Amino acid sequence: MSKGYLCLVLHAHLPYVRHPEHTDFLEEKWLYEAITETYIPLIQIFDHLIEDQVKFRITMTLSPTLISMFTDPLLQERYVQHLNKLIELVGKEEGRTYGSPFHETALMYKKRFHEARNVFCDQYNRNLVSAFKKFQDLGRLEIITCGATHGYLPLMMLYPEAVRGQIKTAVDLHTRHLGRPPAGIWLPECAFAPGVDEILKENGIRFFFTDSHGVLYASHRPRFGIFAPIYCPSGVAAFGRDVESSKQVWSTQEGYPGDFEYREFYRDIGYDLDLDYIGPYIHPDGIRIHTGIKYYKISGKVDLSQKEPYNHWRADEKAAMHAGNFMFNRQHQVHHLASLMDRPPIIVAPYDAELFGHWWFEGPKWLDYLIRKIAFDQDTIEMVTPSDYLQRFPCNQVAIPCSSSWGNKGYHEVWLCGANDWIYRHLHMAAGKMTELADHYHNAGSLHRRALNQAARELLLAQSSDWAFIMSTGTMVEYAIKRTKTHLLNFLRLYSEIKENRIDEGHLGYLENMNNIFPDIDYSWYATKKDLPKAASM
Amino acid sequence: MSVLFPWLFWAIILVLVSGVFLWPQIKGRKAKKDKHQGFLKPTPLFNQEFSRELSIPAAQKPSAQPSEAELPHSYGVNRMILMARDPHWLFAYWEVTATKQDEFTSNYGPEAWSTTHPVLRVYDITGINFNGDNALGFTDIHISENIDNWYVHVGEPDRTFCIDLGRMFPDGRFITLLRSNIVTTPRASLSDRLDEEWMWIEGLYRSMGRFQYGTSSPMIIEELALRAGVLPLGISSPGFNQKD
C-alpha cells in the first residue's frame, strides 16, 4: 500500500507557427525540433513501457495549438522533408566523424533520426495525436487541455466572454481529437485569477494547477498546504505545484539538467561547421540554426570552446542515477509528509514537456528510468493523475486560490511589463468587439458566419501568451510583435467589413487559408451571458 | 600617388562638411529624446506613487515593421482599464475621446482644459460597495498631458482599488472624466483565515520552508525569508531560517 502520490504533469505546448507563405520559416522549426527531440522520444518511451507491461500514470497537456499543428497536412509534409534532410546530413556526418571521438554520437543521431521517421511515418501515419490518444485509451496518460491559443487568462478576465472563447474552443477541439472531453486543464503559464474557475466549470473542467503560492496563499489557509488540492467555491479543484521536485529538475544551477556528463545544448554543428558544408542544412539565407546534431557535453563551467566530446553511455548512466535520486527524495518526502497528514500526500510535479529532450537531451531517458524504478523498486509512492486523486478523495477544503502564475516573481509581471503592456489596449478592444459581433449577429448567413468565425480565430491567435512572453525576454521580439499586430489587424479589418456589410470574400478566403486553426469554431461562443463571474479581482 | 592625393583631400572635406550639416540633426534627435524623458518624469507629490520609466505613451513605441499597417492608436472609445500586475503594482491605460474633452469644456468653460491638469485618483475601496464618495482613502497622482498609461505602486496586497482619471483645477477642484473597473491585488502571504474543520497542519508548512521554493517563484523565497521571524503561530522554526 503506497503512502503517497506522485502526479507528474508534462505540459506540451508550442504557439501556432504555420506559415504556408514561405517554405523555410525559421519559427516553424520550433515545431520540427520539438517533434524530433521531445514528442517522438516521449512516444517511444511510452510505447516501450507498454510493451514491457510497466504500469504508469502521467498527466499530459496537449495544447490546442499543438494538436492543430500535429494534425495539419502541410506541417506534417514539411516535417517529413525536414527529417529527410536531417537524415541526409547525419549520413554525411557518419563519414566525416569516422575515427574521431564524435563518431559514436553521430551513429546515435543516425539511429534516432531513422527511428523518428519510422515512428512518425509508419507507426502513427504522420499524426502524433493518435499516439497520445492511444496512451490515453490504454489508461496510461490523462490528457488535459489548455487555453485554445495559450491566452493569458488573468489579464483577459475583464472580458469573460474572451476567456470563455479560449476555453470552449479548447474543449471542443480536444474532444474532437481525443474522443472525450478533458477533465482538467493546464492554465496557460499556470496563471490563475479568481473567476477563471467558474468558466472552467461551465465547460465541464474539474481541475487545474497553480504554482505553489496559488494554493498556499488561498483565501483560507489550506490544511494540507500544497499536498492536497483545494476546491474553488465553484467546485473546481486546484492542485498546487510542489516546490522541491520542481527545483530538482528545473533549476539550471542545482538541477539535474546541468550535470557535466549531459549534452551541451549550445554546441551545434549548425553553428560550428563551415558554411560550405552545413549550408544546405541551415536556413537558405545562410542564417545559422540549430540542426539538433550536437557532439559535446556540458563538461563543466567552461567556455563553449573548451567543451569535451559527449559520451551517450555515460550520460545514460547519469540519467539513471538522477532518476534514482529523484525517486529517493520523493520517498523521503512522502514518508515525512505522511507522518503529519491524515491522508496520503500528493506531490504535483509539472514540467514543460519541451524541457525533456529538447533542452535536457537526456530528460526522456530520465523519465523512463524514473517510471520503471517507481514501478519495480519501491512501494512508497504511486503515480496518479488528478482525476484518480479526486475519485479517491472527493472531499476537500474550499478556498479561493490566489491570483498567480509560474512566471518570474510569481504573478503577472512577465506578461504585463514595459515591453508588452501596449498589447492589452488592443487585445481588450478586440475582445470587446468580438462579443459585440456575437451579440449582434444571431444565426448569421454563410458568408457572414465565415467572417465571424475567422474574426474569432484572429482574436485567439493574437492572444497567445507566447507573444507577450517573447517580447518580455527580448529575443525574437520582432516576430512576436508582428504576429500580435498581424492578427489584430486582420481582426479589425474583418470587424469593419462585417459591420459595414461589405465582406471581401477573396481576402476572407486568404485568411481562412493562412490562419486555418480551429475549423469548427463557432463565433456564438463569444456572446454575452447574463450570469458571468464578476471580474472584480482580475 | 599624386592622383590619389587630391581625391583623398576632397573626400575628407566632404566628410567634414556633411558632418557639420548632420551633427545638429543627430544632436537634436538625442536632445529631443532627453527632453522627452524629462517630460515623462513628473515630480511626484506623493512619495509612494511614482512613474516607472517605462510609462511611455503608446505612440512612441518602437515598431518592428514601420512600413506595414499599424494598429490604430485610439479607438474613439472612452475607457479606463485597470489591471493588477502583482501584490504591489497596478497598471492602467485609458483613452479620452475628443467628445469627452468637448463635454468637459462645455461644462467648465473654454479655458478649463488648459487651466487644469490630468490626475489619477487611486481609491482604496477594500470591502465596500464604491459609489464615488465612500472610499476608505485615496491618493492623487499628478501626471502630464498626453500620457495614456501608468504603473501605480500601491504596495498593498489583497486590497481593492479603483482609479478615476480626472482634471484638477489650480484650486484643487477635481473633476472625474473616466472611472476604471475594480481590481484586487493578489495576496503575498499566507492567509490569516483558518478553517476550524480544516485546521492547518503547521508541520507541513515548516517542511516546505526547509525545501525552499521553486525556481520560478523566487518572490516567495524572498518574502518567506523576510517574514521568517514574523509568521504567526511560531513558524519561526529553524526550517524557515535556513534560507539561501
Its ipTM equals 0.94
Asked, for residue A453, whether it belongs to a domain, the answer is yes
Distance CA A15, CA A30 (A): 9
> How confident is residue B44, by pLDDT bands cut at 50, 70 and 90?
very low
Residue A203 one-letter amino acid: N
A158 and B181: CB-CB below 8 Å? yes
Using a 10 angstrom Cβ sphere, with 0-12 exposed, 13-18 middle and 19 or more buried, the burial of residue A394 is exposed
CA nearest to A418 within chain B: B54
Q: The CATH number of the domain where A472 resides is what? A: 1.20.1430.10
pLDDT averages per 10-residue partition of chain A, 538 residues: 93 95 89 96 98 97 98 97 97 97 97 98 98 98 98 98 98 98 97 98 98 95 96 98 84 81 94 94 90 95 93 97 96 95 96 90 97 97 98 97 92 96 98 98 92 98 95 88 97 98 97 97 93 49
Indicate if the pLDDT at residue B29 is higher than 50.
no
Is A478–B65 a contact, with Cβ atoms under 8 angstroms apart?
yes
DSSP B87: S
d(CA A467, CA B148): 22
Task: Tell me whether A409 touches chain B (CB under 8 Å).
Answer: yes
Say whether A239 sits in a helix, a strand or coil.
strand
Q: Which amino acid is at B244?
A: D
Cell of B47: 512619495
Residue ranges covered by each domain of chain B:
74-184, 202-241
Residue pair A339/B207 in contact by the 8 Å Cβ criterion: no
Residue B225 pLDDT: 36
Q: Are A511 and A495 within 8 A, CB to CB?
A: no
The CA distances from residue A45 to A96, A131, A364, in Å, are: 30, 12, 7
CA separation for the pair B120, B168 (Å, rounded): 10
Cβ distance A250 to B216 less than 8 Å, yes or no, reads: yes
Yes or no, beta carbons of A246 and B214 under 8 Å apart: yes
User: Is pLDDT at B31 greater than 70 in this prediction?
Assistant: no
A375 interface with B at CB cutoff 8 Å:
no
Is residue B213's pLDDT more than 60?
no
Positive or negative torsion for Cα A164, A166, A167, A171: positive
A403 belongs to a structural domain: no
Cross-strand partners of B175: B167
pLDDT given at position B7: 64
Contacting residues of B for A482, CB less than 8 Å apart: 64-65, 68
In chain A, the number of structural domains is 1
pLDDT-above-70 percentage for chain B? 57
Spatial neighbors of B103 by CB under 8 A, at least 6 apart, are none
CA A459 to chain centre: 20
Cβ pair A489, B72 in contact under 8 A: no
Q: How confident is the model at residue B39 (pLDDT cuts 50, 70, 90)?
A: very low
What are the chain A neighbours of B216 within 8 Å (beta carbons)? 211, 246, 250, 406-408, 410
Listing DSSP states for A357-396 in one string gives TTTBTTHHHHHHHHHHHHHHS-SSEEE--HHHHHHH----
Span B114-121, average pLDDT: 97
Nearest to residue A6, comparing CAs of A340, A333, A381, A508?
Answer: A381
Q: Is any Cβ of chain B less than 8 angstroms from the Cβ of A499?
A: no
From B57, which residue of chain A is nearest by alpha-carbon distance?
A422
Q: Does A355 contact B at CB distance below 8 Å?
A: no
For an interface test with A, the pick among B125, B215, B221, B222 (most A C-beta atoms closer than 10 Å) comes out as B215
Chain A partners of B89 at a C-beta cutoff of 8 Å?
A: 413
- For chain B, what's the residue count? 244
pLDDT value, residue A247: 79
Give the three-state DSSP class for B61. Answer: coil
Is CATH 2.60.40.10 the right assignment for the domain spanning B74-184? yes
How far apart, in whole angstroms, are the C-alpha atoms of residue A277 and residue A274?
A: 5
C-alpha to C-alpha distance for B167 and A495, rounded to whole angstroms: 34
CB pair distance less than 8 Å for B188 and A217: yes
Is A332 part of the contact surface with chain B (CB cutoff 8 Å)? no
Beta bridge pairs of residue A4: A381
**Count H helices, E strands: chain B?**
6, 8
B204 vs A340, A492, A535: nearest CB? A340
Give the integer Cα–Cα distance in Å for B156 and B206.
26
Residue A501 domain-assigned (yes or no) = yes
Structural domain includes residue A140: no
Candidates B198, B212, B233, partner chain A, best to mutate (most A CBs within 10 A):
B198
In this prediction, residue A461 carries a pLDDT of 98
CB A165 within 8 A of CB A148: yes
| DSSP label at residue A474 | T
Q: Could you tell me how far CA B59 lies from the centroid of its own chain?
A: 16
- Which residue, among B85, B148, B202, B221, would best test binding to A if mutated, counting the most A CBs under 10 Å from its CB? B85
Q: Which residue of B has its CA nearest to A492?
A: B71
pLDDT greater than 70 at residue B55: no
Most confident listed range (B32-46, B199-213, B230-244):
B199-213
Using DSSP's 3-state secondary structure scheme, residue A452 falls into: helix
Chain A CB contacts of B187 under 8 Å are 217, 219, 402
Is residue A282 within 8 Å of A270, Cβ to Cβ?
yes
- Give the pLDDT confidence score for residue B219 in this predicted structure: 32
Closest of A375, A339, A367, A311 to residue A107, by C-alpha = A311
Question: Confidence class of residue B204 from pLDDT cuts 50, 70 and 90?
Answer: confident
> What amino acid is encoded at A58 in this protein?
I
Contacts of B200 in chain A (CB under 8 A): 221-223, 225
Residue of B nearest to A345 (CA): B204
* Pairs across A and B, CB distance < 8 A: 188
Within 10 A of A173 (CB to CB), how many other CB atoms are there? 24
CA distances from B64 to A120, A461, B68, B70, B159 (A): 37, 19, 9, 10, 38
Q: Write b or e for each residue in A89-106: b if 16 or more Cβ atoms lie within 10 A of its Cβ, otherwise e.
A: bbeebeeebeeeebbebb
Closest CA relative to residue A245, chosen from A146, A381, A395? A381
Q: What is the pLDDT of residues B127-140, one digit of tens each?
A: 999 999 999 999 99
Residues of A in contact with B188 (CB under 8 A): 217
Res. B196: pLDDT tops 80: yes
- Of B164, B155, B178, B187, whose CA–CA distance to B46 is shortest? B155
Which residues of chain B are within 8 Å of residue A429 when distances are taken between CB atoms? 75, 77
Which positions in chain B touch A251 (Cβ < 8 Å)? 215
A538 interfacial to chain B (CB closer than 8 Å): yes
Establish if A189 touches chain B: CB-CB under 8 angstroms: no
- Mean pLDDT value of segment B36-42: 37
Closest Cα partner for A18 from A31, A33, A28, A32? A28
| E strand intervals along A386-481 | none
In contact, B153 and B200? CB cutoff 8 Å:
no
- The neighbouring-strand residues paired with A141 are A58
CB-based contact B86 A411, cutoff 8 Å? yes
Q: Which of A221, A227, A488 sits opposite B191 (nearest CB)?
A: A221
pLDDT of amino acid B21: 53
Confirm if A183 and A207 have CB atoms less than 8 A apart. yes
CA quadruple A48, A51, A57, A62: dihedral sign: positive
Higher pLDDT, residue B243 or A472 = A472
- Point out the residue among B64, B189, B204 whose CB comes nearest to the CB of A217: B189
Domain of A521 in residue numbering reads as 415-526
What are the angstrom distances between the C-alpha of B58 and each of A412, A485, A498, B48, B92? 20, 14, 28, 24, 13
Question: What is the Cα–Cα distance from B83 to A443, expressed in whole angstroms?
Answer: 34
pLDDT at B116: 97
In this structure, is residue A422 part of a structural domain?
Answer: yes
Probe site for chain A from B68, B187, B224 (most A CB atoms < 10 A): B187
**Which residues on chain A are in Cβ contact (under 8 Å) with B190?**
216-217, 221
